[in-house]
Structure 1
C-alpha cells in the first residue's frame, strides 16, 4: 500500500506544480529551459505512474474491504466512464464545442472516471487510487478554469464535425476498453464478457 501512496504523491505532485508552486515552476523553466523541464517532468511522472500501477497491483493481492458496493453501481460506473472517454478524446481533438465549453476536458474526464470507480469498488486500494485522483482533479480543474478567466483565455469555437469525431472515437475507445482491454490490463471484466 505504501508504494501506491508514494506513487500517487509523486505522480499527482508533479502534475500539481502549476497549482501549488507556479513561481517555482516558472523560475525553474526560466533557469533550466522548457526542454529540460519537460524531460524531468516526464521522468518523474513515469516513475510515479509505474509506482501507482505496481502498488495498486500489490495492494489488490492483500485487499482491505471497506464496503460492499451494490451490483447496480457497476452499471452506473459503466455509464459514467462513457463521458470520461469522450472528454479524454476532446483533450486532443482541436476546435470542439466540448473543449470550448469545459476548457480542460481531461481533468473533467478524470473526475468522471474516479467517481465511477469509487462507486463500484469498495477496497482501500480503490479508495486511495480513485479518491486520490478525484481529490487532485477537482481543485486543479477549479484553479485551471479560474486561471483561464484571469488570463482572458478563450478556446476556439467548436465545429460540429469535430464534436462528432470526438464522440464517435470516444465511444469506440470505451467499447474496446470496456469489453476487452480492461480485462486484459486490469484483470476485471466490467461486463463479464
Structure 2
C-alpha cells in the first residue's frame, strides 16, 4: 500500500503544483526553461504513474474490504463512464463540448473516479479513485483564481465534437469489451 500512496503523492503532487503554489511553479518554469521544466515534470509524473500501477497491483493481492457495493451500482458505473473518453477527446478537439464545459478532462476524471468508487469497495480502490476525484475537484475550484495556461489543441472546427464523440465512444466500447481485461486484468462485463 505504501508504494501506491507514494505514487499518488508523486503523480498528484506534481500535478498540484499550480494549485498549491502557482508562483513557485512559474519561478521553476522560468529558471529552468520550458523544456527542462516539462522534462522534469514528465519524469516525476511517469515515476508516480509507475508506482501507482505497481502499488495498486500489489494491493490487489492482499485486499482490504471497506464496503461491498450492491450489484446495481455496476450498471450506474457503466453509464457514468460512457462520456469519459469523448470528454478526454474534446479536451484536445475544441468545439461546443469544450466551450460549454471549459475543462472537459477534469469532468472526465471526476466521472471516471466516481464510477470506479461506486463499483469497487476495496481500500486500494478508495485510495486510488478517491485521490483522483478529490484532486479533480480541488483543481477545478482552483482554476477560478489562477491563470490558465493554454494547452496545445487541434484547430477549432465544427467537426471536432463529432470526432470526439465517435472516437471516444469507440474507445469506450474497446475498453469495455477487451482493453480493460488486457490492461488491468478485470473484465467489466
User: TM class, shorter-chain normalised?
Assistant: over 0.9
- Off by >4 Å, runs of 4+ in structure 1: none
CA distance in 1 between counterparts of 2:141 and 2:157 reads 25
Structure 2 equivalent of residue 167 of structure 1: 165
CA distance in 2 between counterparts of 1:99 and 1:146 reads 19
Structure 2 equivalent of residue 85 of structure 1: 85
- Tell whether 2:74 aligns with 1:74: yes
Structure 2 equivalent of residue 127 of structure 1: 126
CA distance in 1 between counterparts of 2:143 and 2:106 reads 9
CA distance in 2 between counterparts of 1:104 and 1:74 reads 26
Shift of 1:164: 1.1
CA distance in 2 between counterparts of 1:26 and 1:86 reads 31
Shift of 1:18: 0.8
Shift of 1:75: 1.2
Structure 2 equivalent of residue 184 of structure 1: 182
Counterpart secondary structure, 2:82: helix
Question: What stretches of structure 2 of length at least 5 have no aligned partner?
Answer: 150-155
CA RMSD of aligned residues (A): 2.0
Counterpart secondary structure, 1:68: coil
Change (3 A) 1:30 1:148: closer
Change (3 A) 1:148 1:21: closer
Structure 1 equivalent of residue 114 of structure 2: 115
Q: TM-score of the superposition, structure 2-length normalised?
A: 0.93
